[in-house]
Amino acid sequence: MNNNKYKILVVEDEDNICKFISALLEANGYQAIIAKTCLMAQSMFSSYIPDLIILDLGLPDMDGMNFLNYVRETSLTPIIVLSARSDESDKVNALDSGANDYVTKPFSTAELLARVRSSLRNSRHSADDGHFPGRKFLLGGLVIDYDARRVFLQNVEVKLTQTEYNIVALLSEHCGKVMTYSSIIKTIWGHPDGGSIKKLQVNMANIRKKLRDKPGGSNYIINELGVGYRMNNEESD
């Protein structure tokens, strides 16, 4: 028994999906623990203290949101929500309630594993008091100096406006996590107004141009359509 393995609690009631996910996780060096109801998930969460939770929202006894709220009362354990629902408001609701990420069914194995790696990496960063060594954020060729409020790309300074800088810094502090439009707007501008989404989109378009993000490329900032933005913490290969 190798207890260096990350423990992942899979909360899902459908047998086929359960088997598929746990086989996938075990094959990739993780330990999978299965719970098929909200109540079972609560007791397994306390007894196993998992490193990550993969949570289906449609459970037989209660809505998966109940378990999400239960975990967030006491813990920052990363949670990836598994949703068959195409309704964006469910994802936004789960993210705003503290989920770190979501995957929509049907998903590919590569996609799920990428989200798992990303969430685990994100939680290791956050464990460091939310700060990075020397108050600097490093990601590929991107460097953010939080004290100087300056951003560098391949050692060349990227000239950002104050608002653009604030957005980049916010996303980097939650690197790997999807930030919903409303959570970004609230942090950057305070109370949202009618033009908030448009303002965010305009700023984001400028930021992505300055960071040389291209559609389909290996980008620093990913647009999660209809939901929000995520700073990508996957190593590109």
Query: Which residues here bind Ca ion, judged by CB under 5 A?
Result: 13, 56, 58
Number of residue whose CB is nearest Ca ion: 58
Comparing CB distances to Ca ion, the nearer of 105 and 210 is: 105
My answer on whether omega of the bond before 106 falls inside 30° of 0, hence cis, is: yes
From CA 132, how far away is CA 143, in angstroms rounded? 11
Comparing CB distances to Ca ion, the nearer of 7 and 105 is: 105
Query: Which residue shows structure tokens 């746990």?
Result: 22
Rounded to the nearest whole angstrom, what is the least distance from the CB of residue 41 to Ca ion in the complex? Answer: 12
Rounded to the nearest whole angstrom, what is the least distance from the CB of residue 60 to Ca ion in the complex? Answer: 8
Query: Which residue shows structure tokens 């109540």?
Result: 39
Structure tokens at 156: 């060349």
User: What is the widest separation between alpha-carbon atoms in the chain?
Assistant: 56
Rounded to the nearest whole angstrom, what is the least distance from the CB of residue 17 to Ca ion in the complex? Answer: 8
Contact 91/168 with Cβ under 8 angstroms?
Answer: no
Phi-psi group of 106: left, alpha or beta (phi > 0 → left; psi -120 to 50 → alpha; rest → beta):
beta
Structure tokens at 41: 């998930």
Q: What's the angle, vertex CA 102, arms to CA 170 and CA 138, rounded to 5?
A: 35
Rounded to the nearest whole angstrom, what is the least distance from the CB of residue 32 to Ca ion in the complex? Answer: 17
Query: Which residue shows structure tokens 């813990």?
Result: 75
Comparing CB distances to Ca ion, the nearer of 51 and 56 is: 56
Rounded to the nearest whole angstrom, what is the least distance from the CB of residue 14 to Ca ion in the complex? Answer: 5
Rounded to the nearest whole angstrom, what is the least distance from the CB of residue 39 to Ca ion in the complex? Answer: 15
Comparing CB distances to Ca ion, the nearer of 112 and 231 is: 112
Comparing CB distances to Ca ion, the nearer of 56 and 90 is: 56
From CA 206, how far away is CA 178, in angstroms rounded? 19
Comparing CB distances to Ca ion, the nearer of 35 and 92 is: 35
Contact 173/130 with Cβ under 8 angstroms?
Answer: yes
From CA 143, how far away is CA 154, in angstroms rounded? 8
Rounded to the nearest whole angstrom, what is the least distance from the CB of residue 145 to Ca ion in the complex? Answer: 45
Comparing CB distances to Ca ion, the nearer of 58 and 192 is: 58
